[in-house]
Amino acid sequence: MNLTPLVQSFVLHFGEMGSRWGINRTVGQIYALLFVSARPLNADEIAEALAFSRSNVSMGLKELESWRLVRLLHQPGDRREYFSAPEDVWAIFRTLAEERRKREVDPTLTMLRDALLVQPDNEPDRHAQKRMASMHELIELSTSWFADVQKLDERTLRQLMKLGSAAQKLLLMKDSLKPAATRNKKAAGP
CB of 10 to DNA, least distance (A): 17
- What is the C-alpha to C-alpha distance for residues 49 and 8, in angstroms, rounded to an integer? 10
Amino acid occupying residue 170: L
Q: What are phi and psi of 121, to 5 degrees?
A: -120, 20
Which lies closer to a second copy via its Cβ, residue 152 or residue 180? 152
Instruction: Residue 106: name its binding partner from a second copy, DNA, none (Cβ under 5 to 8 Å by kind).
Output: none
Report if residue 167 touches a second copy, rule: CB under 8 A.
yes
| Residues of this chain, 133-172, that bind DNA according to CB under 7 A | none
| Residues of this chain, 48-67, that bind a second copy according to CB under 8 A | none
Query: CB within 8 A of 152, min separation 6: which ones?
Result: 160
Q: What are phi and psi of 88, to 5 degrees?
A: -70, 110
Q: Which residues of 158-180 are buried (b: 16+ CB within 10 A; e: fewer)?
A: eeeeeeeeeeeeeeeeeeeeeee
Query: CB within 8 A of 43, min separation 6: which ones?
Result: 54, 57, 58, 61, 80, 81, 83
| Residues of this chain, 46-65, that bind DNA according to CB under 7 A | 51-56, 58-59, 61-62
Report if residue 11 touches DNA, rule: CB under 7 A.
no
Residue 104 belongs to what H/E stretch?
A: none
Report if residue 179 touches a second copy, rule: CB under 8 A.
no
Instruction: Residue 104: name its binding partner from a second copy, DNA, none (Cβ under 5 to 8 Å by kind).
Output: a second copy
Report if residue 24 touches a second copy, rule: CB under 8 A.
no
| Residues of this chain, 83-102, that bind a second copy according to CB under 8 A | 89-90, 93
Instruction: Residue 54: name its binding partner from DNA, a second copy, none (Cβ under 5 to 8 Å by kind).
Output: DNA
Residues of this chain that bind DNA (CB under 7 A): 19, 24-26, 42-44, 51-56, 58-59, 61-62, 78-81
